[in-house]
Structure 1
Amino acid sequence: MGSHALRTPLVVVAGGTAPAAAIGVERVIGRIRAEEPGTAVVHHDLRDVRNGVVHRRLRFGTADERRILTLAHGCVSCTLREDVLPLMRELGRRPEVRRIVLHLDPALDPESACWAVRHVAVDGRPVTDTVDLRGVVTALDPGSWLDDATGDRGLARAGLADLPDEERTLAQLVVAQAEFADVLLLAGPAEPWELARTTAVLARLNPRAQRVLTPGREVLLDALPPGARRGRAAGPHDPLLAGEPPLEPAAGVQLVTFTARRPFHPDRLHAAVDVLLDGVVRARGRIWLATRPDTVLWLESAGGGLEIGRSGQWLAAGGWEAATPERLAEANLRWHPRWGDRVQELAILVHDGDPATIKAALRAALLDDGEVAAGDDAWRALPDPFGRHHTDPCGDIAPAPAIPRDDPTREEWN
């Protein structure tokens, strides 16, 4: 069952956080079922999750089977994994099932679902033995998406499933859903200027995705171009500008890059992070704190929330074992006689902020010449407000984990 030809194609459909987008999701599923009548559609509805249950619906042909699942261990992720993955395997083995659609609840991030399909074993074997994950289709409402992607509302306030221990914002969710897609369906009307700005953001957030207004055969994900994501998470040392996004401004939207070869002063960086939250859709990248010279830190923001967490070691500090050939080649090209591969690298997607102000604030947060000359021992004594895992706003709503899941060095700080 390991060959591509013998596995059942699996399409993940995400989005639907706004009414127009929810209609778009159903249009996508309808188009897939029309193109391939042997399609099974699996959906887990989380609207009653606070009552300890999940509603599962399985559609195949004229059959429409509904079942109520009790939360396993009180955990949504456990419940979904314990039901979705065995069900994917079972459907993948049925010869009458020619395609599977995993229709995610609007409150779910497709990256987590795809990671589970690719990496979590069922009875000692990966689900990908029987299913071929073709990728992700996300439906969004271009009339409201940009406002949602730059706000700070929690999911419950946005009318989505009130998940236990939920700390994500709506911005984090909708940005993640759009960023991970192979096809983006722009469902619903939008004013011309709003559509232009949203399109400009999406072109820079996810340049590899196809953007469509009406679902056609592309939602089957059978013929994506080379380099398509197809449900694979990016690693923390992958290129920040993968897919070659446009670097020139459009409709007031601009992708700003920041690179420096000296460490950040932790206290000054902490004071400066607000520039990554005001007028910014997304900021992501690798940072190097003076107090932690061995550790690669991954920074990621969406709308009004930001998170910084650990993601392995710099090669210069001994992180060779987990390094990919691509990372080794990149490090070899830019190796510094003192710093090795240590570097600040951020990509910042601005929609209403001032790029010059952002860059100036980040430059001011770097160690100055005198601090650099003071050396490592002095750096370690600097005040460091980040703790072992940092979210911003401090003590307020926190984003979902930002460390890419496919990185073998991934380590969450709690």
Structure 2
Amino acid sequence: MTDRIPVTVLSGSLGAGKTTLLNHLLSTAGDRDIAVLVNDMGDVNVDADLIAEESEVDVEGVTELSNGCICCELQDDLETAVVRLANERSFDALVVESSGISEPAPVARLFTTESRAAARYHVDALVTVVDTRQFLDAFAGDEAPTRRVDPDAIGGTDVADTERDRPLSDLLVEQIEVSNVVVCNKADLCTDAELEEAVGLVGALQPGAETIVTEFAAIDPDRILGVDLFDESEVGDLPGWKRALEEAQSESSDGTDGTGDDHGDDHHGHGHRHPDEVYGVTSFTYRRRRPFHPDRIAALLGDLPADVVRSKGTLWVAGVDQRQQVGQAGRSVRVEALGPWIASLPPVERDMLRSNRPGLDWDDDHGDRLTEYVAIGTGIDEDAIVDRLDDALVTDEEWDVFAGDGGRGGDSELPVPTEQGDAVALREP
């Protein structure tokens, strides 16, 4: 088999500097022959036009760039486009700008699955460009900016309102969390202290990422091309919250009981982690085998302190047998029902699922029901948040009430989703 073509998947919010970075790469690539696919997923390929203008060459449909590279408007299936590109000409590297996709992982999967594209290409790195000033402002509390949306860039009028209205903080966090390289652009608009804070936050959100600080997206091509940083087996485990959770699970297996009753050890059932103490970025993991009262946990999550930049995890909420996944980025907090706890299923189905998951954390009394929640932030008051979380747990009397009323505790409605796949917003920017 001939060597597969390396692919750099480029993401970043509107105005972060992706097109500027692409044009810089094309003008400084030297002997490299780079093909560029701009995926705007709309009727007008705005970024492709900007690249064409920079290269001063304009051809209908397909734009031939000044260094012999190609920029295509992707109105057809992306896989068909990249395979056709490889068949039509030879080049040294492909850069895919995923303008209309919230994070680079969906594009990366195209090149890592059993597909025609995977036979011709391999992913070299997932690169996210952030407007550093905007990145910091997105977590600045009530004054945080809202997401700027180009309707054509996210698929025009056919895109669901939930995606169109998605908070900027969600987009920024999810792009960073799956990246191998994060380019903190527009550094000239920030102070040295702000740049240090931004680098620290990136390190907390994605500890394995290389962070590069730039002005006007001027970057050495060797820092993002041919770097071989993408590992297909690790793409789902990159986010900092997942790593913190794994560490907490490891600590628990070494003696933390996490019951929520006697709290087990000096950490009171939660683990500490310090991604980068130089910048004041820390995280902790909260684990309990006692459910939350639905009203109290909803109120708490809707009123998290501004210094909690990111939190995520699975919640056990009384009154509903659905596992609740919470995702918080800045002022945005959403909860989704992932599916039933295995312990709530009929015995035959429950035992079958348990036998297929030998590593499942199972409690004799509560089965797999367990809260595991990670919070990451700058200067967070961990003890105060843990105390609030503990206060949101059901009391013994409340637990008996929920259990004795068909699991709903007498509430006609719950503030969390009750059907698998449903989601609710507990707080919006």
Give the TM interval when normalised to the shorter protein.
0.7 to 0.9
Is the counterpart of residue 172 in structure 1 residue 170 in structure 2? yes
Is the counterpart of residue 391 in structure 1 residue 387 in structure 2? no
2:120 corresponds to: 130
Partners of 1:275 and 1:29 in 2: CA distance: 46
256, 269, 272: which is aligned to 2:284? Answer: 256
Alpha-carbon distance change, 351 to 55 in structure 1, aligned in 2, over 3 angstroms = same
Question: Map of 1:3-402 to 2, 5 A cutoff?
Answer: 6-15=3-12, 17-18=14-15, 23-28=20-25, 33-34=29-30, 36-37=32-33, 39-45=34-40, 49=42, 52-55=43-46, 57=48, 65-67=59-61, 82-94=76-88, 96-105=90-99, 108-118=102-112, 125=115, 127-150=117-140, 152-156=144-148, 164=157, 165=161, 166-189=164-187, 190-213=190-213, 214-224=219-229, 229=234, 232-234=235-237, 239-241=242-244, 246-247=274-275, 249-276=277-304, 278-293=306-321, 295-316=322-343, 317=345, 318=349, 328-329=358-359, 331=360, 334-351=361-378, 353-374=380-401, 376-378=403-405, 380-382=407-409, 383=411, 384-387=414-417, 388=419, 389-393=422-426
Q: Secondary structure of the residue that 1:208 maps to in structure 2?
A: coil
Q: Deviation per CA, 1:299-324, whole angstroms, max 9, x where unpaired? A: 11111112211324444345787899
2:70 corresponds to: none
Partners of 1:250 and 1:346 in 2: CA distance: 24
Q: Secondary structure of the residue that 2:138 maps to in structure 1?
A: helix
Q: Deviation per CA, 1:58-91, whole angstroms, max 9, x where unpaired? A: 98999764539xxxxxxxxxx9684322101222
Task: Read off the aligned partner of 1:137 and give its amino acid letter.
Answer: V
Task: Read off the aligned partner of 1:34 and give its amino acid letter.
Answer: G
Task: Read off the aligned partner of 2:363 and give its amino acid letter.
Answer: H
- Is the contact between residue 312 and residue 325 of structure 2 (CA under 8 Å) also seen in structure 1? yes
- Is the contact between residue 35 and residue 93 of structure 2 (CA under 8 Å) also seen in structure 1? yes
Give the CA deviation at 1:377: 3.9
- Is the contact between residue 125 and residue 227 of structure 2 (CA under 8 Å) also seen in structure 1? no
Task: Read off the aligned partner of 1:98 and give its amino acid letter.
Answer: D
Give me the CA root mean square deviation: 4.0
- Is the contact between residue 25 and residue 138 of structure 1 (CA under 8 Å) also seen in structure 2? no
- Is the contact between residue 283 and residue 349 of structure 1 (CA under 8 Å) also seen in structure 2? yes
Give the CA deviation at 1:240: 4.3
- Is the contact between residue 16 and residue 106 of structure 1 (CA under 8 Å) also seen in structure 2? no
Alpha-carbon distance change, 390 to 235 in structure 1, aligned in 2, over 3 angstroms = farther
- Is the contact between residue 22 and residue 139 of structure 1 (CA under 8 Å) also seen in structure 2? no
Give the CA deviation at 1:352: 5.7
Task: Read off the aligned partner of 2:369 and give its amino acid letter.
Answer: R
Structure 1, unpaired ranges of 5+: 69-78, 398-414
Give the CA deviation at 1:369: 2.3
Give the CA deviation at 1:234: 4.8
Give the CA deviation at 1:171: 1.2
Moved more, 370-379 or 152-161: 152-161
Partners of 2:355 and 2:126 in 1: CA distance: 25
- Is the contact between residue 208 and residue 243 of structure 1 (CA under 8 Å) also seen in structure 2? no
